Amino acid sequence: MLQNSYVRTIILSRVLLQLGIWIRNFAILLYVTDLTNNNPHYVALISVVEFAPIFIFAIIGGTFADRWKPKRTMAGSDLISALSVFIVLLVLESGAWYALLAGTFVSASLSQFSQPSAMKLYIRHVPAEQLQGVMAMSQSLVAVFTVLGPVIGTFVFLQYGIQVSLILTAIMFLGSALILSRLPRDTDEPQSNGSGGLMQEMMTGLRYLWTNRPLRTLSATFAATGLAAGMIQPLMLFISIEKLGQGKEFLQYLLVANGAAMLAGGIVIMGIAKKVKPQVLLAAGLLVTAFCTIGVGVSTFIALTLVLQIMNGLFYPCIQVGIQTLIMTNTEGALIGRVGGAITPIFMGMMVVGMAASGYLKDAFSLLAVFAASGCLLVMGALLLAPLIQKKRTAQNHSQTL
């Protein structure tokens, strides 16, 4: 896969982007907590400016990504992100730390234009049988930085401070833009419904999503998965304290075990990507994750909980890789930005709903009840995939009889 120049270039640019994002995010988090004496409202505000652009700009960014040339869009987004960091650095010298939040918002917003452009290049230049492997590689990259990102970001800030952290962030973004500039020139391609206005093109994407049965099924599965993930994410701390009788610092070991297993799972999927259908991969990931989620809610043994966290991490990439592959293989290239921009907020929105309700559900019922409900939602998501799996088997049987 890395022999493909497009894959190699985009993955390398994503390495620099991930480095820049993690260095920036942890520098801002630690700087703001120091400045505000650990004020939880400002800490929450950091999360808001990181996630809000997904809701505000995902479908808009996806629509423009379908209109614009992907190489130019990706390189331009990284370049503007780098310039915004330098501007924030200058404003910060005057003591206006709120500029950090504005810079994060701008960068996160630009990502909503850049990410669908990368998917567009993959669809154009990666053979269909390699797409699942490429998605697994991308997921492995995310897993690596899930483990190493906080360590790198914390180290840079504690050793060198906010100014150096931001300068390094800008350099990483500039480096990504420079690497992307080495891609071949964008080729002209007929645009789908390109003559209409922005709103008309957005509605075209939404109608396409609704009338495309595989994509509609994936949206429902994504919603169930997002709600399930949101319900338990804030409660892992209570697993450490209430179920395992450990201090809150033990949470880091649960997260590291999960993150390291995610990396291993992504590598394994790269090896088996051609042999397993994406819908089967997704269903298996959901079912195993459901089992592990319920098990974590039941377990009172540290060793068992760690094993379940590792199993969860190993199979979680199956969910992300399966969904991304199914989206790409069931969507016209000219509409990939709009479809991705419509589906992603479904997951994030339901995850936020789950996070908001998790505390109330725990108080009203119990920690085990919330984890059991989350597991049931994951099973429901897997069951929703049954028509896709059955349709594929029917098609295979039909081709064999011919």
Distances (CA, A) of 236 to 44, 263, 344: 18, 20, 24
369 and 321 inside one domain: yes
Question: 91-113, pLDDT tens digit by residue?
Answer: 888 778 888 888 888 888 888 88
pLDDT band at 402 (very low <50, low <70, confident <90, very high): very low
Please tell me the predicted confidence (pLDDT) of residue 145: 83
Q: Is the pLDDT of residue 348 over 50?
A: yes
For the residues of 8-77, what is the DSSP string, one character each? Answer: HHHHHHHHHHHHHHHHHHHHHHHHHHHHHTS-HHHHHHHHHHHHHHHHHHHHHHHHHHHHS-HHHHHHHH
Say which range, 13-22, 93-102, 376-385, 391-400, has the weakest mean pLDDT.
391-400
Domain with residue 158: its CATH number is 1.20.1250.20
Statement to judge: residues 66 and 165 lie in one domain: yes
Look at residue 192 and tell me if it is in a domain: no
Residue 274 maps to a domain: yes
User: Which domain does 100 fall in, by range?
Assistant: 5-180
If asked whether residues 31 and 162 sit together in one domain, one would say: yes
Letter string b/e over residues 384-395, b meaning 16 or more CB atoms within 10 A of that residue's CB: bbeebeeeeeee
Six-digit token pair at 13? 């640019």
> What's the rounded mean pLDDT across residues 1-8?
81
Same domain, 157 and 228: no
> Looking at the structure, do residues 9 and 147 belong to the same domain, yes or no?
yes
Residue 101 · residue 112 · CB < 8 Å: no
Q: What is the mean pLDDT of residues 250-272?
A: 84
Task: Give the pLDDT band (50/70/90) at residue 1.
Answer: low
| Number of domains within the chain | 2
Residues 214 and 155 reside in one and the same domain: no
End-to-end CA distance of the chain: 33
82 with 160, same domain?
yes
Please tell me whether residues 273 and 170 are part of one structural domain. no
164 and 218 inside one domain:
no
Distance, CA of 310 to CA of 292 (rounded, Å): 9
Is residue 277's pLDDT more than 60? yes
Q: Is residue 197 part of a domain?
A: no
Pick from 43-52, 74-83, 94-103, 343-352: least confident? 43-52
Tokens of 97: 């730390």
H/E stretch holding 304 reads helix 302-329
Where residue 391 falls among pLDDT bands split at 50, 70, 90?
A: low
The confidence band for 381, taking pLDDT boundaries of 50, 70 and 90, is very high
Q: What is the phi-psi region of residue 331: left when phi exceeds 0, alpha when psi lies from -120 to 50, beta otherwise?
A: beta
Residue given tokens 């400002």 in the structure block:
42
Query: What phi, psi does 332 have (nearest 5°)?
Result: -65, 140
Is residue 154's pLDDT more than 80?
yes
* pLDDT tens for each residue of 173-219: 999 999 999 988 877 655 554 456 777 878 888 888 888 888 888 89
Radius of gyration of the chain (CA): 21
Query: How far is the C-alpha of 243 from the C-alpha of 235, rounded, in Å?
Result: 11
Place of tokens 């699942």: 132
Please state, for a pLDDT cut of 70, what percent of the chain lies above it.
93
pLDDT band at 327 (very low <50, low <70, confident <90, very high): confident
Domain-located, residue 284: yes
**155 and 304 belong to one structural domain:** no
Tell whether 140 and 213 lie within a shared domain.
no
pLDDT exceeds 90 at position 287: yes
- Average of pLDDT values for 269-282? 82
Q: Are residues 367 and 237 in the same domain?
A: yes
Q: Is residue 112 included in any domain, yes or no?
A: yes
According to the model, what pLDDT value does residue 385 have? 87
User: Which residue among 145, 180, 215 closes a domain?
Assistant: 180
Predicted structure pTM score: 0.74
